[in-house]
Amino acid sequence: MRTGKPSKTAIKVSSSIVTLGTTSYGQQILPDGLVDASEKILLASGVVSEKGVRWIKSPRMVSVYRAFDWLLPGQFEALGERKAFFERQVRAGIAAGATQILVLGAGFDTLGWRLATEFPKVKFFEIDHPVTANVKAKAVSKLGRRGNLYLIAEELGKRKLPDVLATHGSWNRESRSVILAEGLLMYLPAQAVRELFGQCLAIAGAESRVVFSYIPAGPDGRLDAGRWTGLMLWLQKVAGEPWLWSIEPQNIRSFLEGIGWKIAPELEGGTGRHSTEYFAVATNQA
Ligand SMILES: C[S@@+](CC[C@H](N)C(=O)[O-])C[C@H]1O[C@@H](n2cnc3c(N)ncnc32)[C@H](O)[C@@H]1O
């Protein structure tokens, strides 16, 4: 992971949502308010200029995504489907009684900032690398802080989640929680992914959920992002955010059961594969 600069991939995810919002497909699937909020957060954090926003909202930018679709077919639309999936999961979790939402590797995601006003009794937490978290915090201060949104600047893996949240007095490890790992696990080494799920178990009350996305591995056990996997692995490495973790979809159940979680296909809504990624939900229900 590059240090000193905000995450490139986080900027890319949020700016592609702004671009997707100019298309009729984006307008159909993206949650209300997401595109506008993403544009505001990108601008206010200074990672995209006014001119940059005009470019990412232009039809030419849509053409660029379409022209590079061969690299990761369907990825442009899939990022929108991912945002919609994670927001549906958070809303469903709150409806089922969750009072804490934790967004791991939040980047410039706007879910916490938007939903904190809609659900004033729910506490929203975000964690990201200090550089990314700090520029995001600057943006949130400019645009309007929420009393129930806590932004934590921390590198996952350096300090354990229970310790990070313990120093943050507002987190209650007995509360029913929804923990999000959207577009994150592929950036962590295998051991860190196992440990992260273990730590999630330690911080969450009964009937909590982890909502996550992951890149599948092929039958040879190696990450499979489609035909151009080798090129993608190289591009990610050069960008300073290499893809490290993947898992065969048929092994996800046993992987989670081995670390205290249970896959919950009944909560997923039959999502399956979206371009490079699978979306999934796990619960700690007995
Ligand atoms: C692809 S971006 C996804 C951002 C956001 N979840 C979204 O989907 O809009 C991955 C994010 O994970 C963060 N990240 C990766 N490894 C991390 C680590 N070890 N600790 C904290 N954050 C990490 C990056 O800084 C980046 O913001």
CATH of the domain at 28: 3.40.50.150
pTM: 0.96
3-state helix, strand, coil in the chain (%, to 5): 45, 15, 35
Ligand 1 pocket test, candidate residues 85, 187, 195, 235, most atoms within 8 A of CB: 187
CA dihedral 98, 116, 17, 155 (to 10 degrees): -80
- What residue's CA is closest to ligand 1, atom 7? 109
User: For residues 172 and 20, what is the distance between their CA atoms, to the nearest angstrom?
Assistant: 37
Q: Is residue 27 part of a domain?
A: yes
Q: Is residue 1 part of a domain?
A: no
**pLDDT the model gives residue 167:** 84
**pLDDT the model gives residue 286:** 64
**Ligand 1 — pocket residues by CB below 6 A?**
1, 7, 9-10, 13-14, 105-107, 109, 128-129, 132, 155-157, 182-184, 187
**pLDDT the model gives residue 266:** 85
- The atom number, within ligand 1, closest to the CA of 17 reads 9
CB 149 within 8 Å of CB 116: yes
**pLDDT the model gives residue 3:** 64
**pLDDT the model gives residue 147:** 95
Task: Determine the distance separating the centroid of ligand 1 and the alpha carbon of 8, expressed in angstroms.
Answer: 9
Triad 20, 25, 31: Cα angle to 5° = 70
Task: Determine the distance separating the centroid of ligand 1 and the alpha carbon of 160, expressed in angstroms.
Answer: 16
C-alpha of 43 from chain center: 20
**pLDDT the model gives residue 13:** 98
148: left (phi over 0), alpha (psi -120 to 50) or beta: alpha
**Which residues are paired to 279 by β-bridges?**
213
Task: Determine the distance separating the centroid of ligand 1 and the alpha carbon of 106, expressed in angstroms.
Answer: 6
Q: Is residue 208 part of a domain?
A: yes
Closest Cα partner for 247 from 280, 269, 198? 280
Task: Determine the distance separating the centroid of ligand 1 and the alpha carbon of 131, expressed in angstroms.
Answer: 11
CB 241 within 8 Å of CB 233: no
Residue range(s) defining the domain that contains residue 125: 8-283
Q: Is residue 3 part of a domain?
A: no
Q: Which residues contact 199 (CB under 8 A, 6 or more apart)?
A: 160, 161, 162
Q: Is residue 60 part of a domain?
A: yes
Number of domains in the chain: 1
Q: Is residue 2 part of a domain?
A: no
**pLDDT the model gives residue 168:** 81
Per-residue pLDDT of the chain (286 residues; tens, 9 = 90+): 556 899 999 999 999 999 999 999 999 999 999 999 999 999 999 999 999 999 999 999 999 999 999 999 999 999 999 999 999 999 999 999 999 999 999 999 999 999 999 999 999 999 999 999 999 999 999 999 999 999 999 999 899 999 999 988 899 999 999 999 999 999 999 999 999 999 999 999 999 999 999 999 999 999 999 999 999 999 999 999 999 999 999 999 999 999 999 999 888 877 788 999 999 999 997 6
Task: Determine the distance separating the centroid of ligand 1 and the alpha carbon of 184, expressed in angstroms.
Answer: 5
**pLDDT the model gives residue 169:** 80
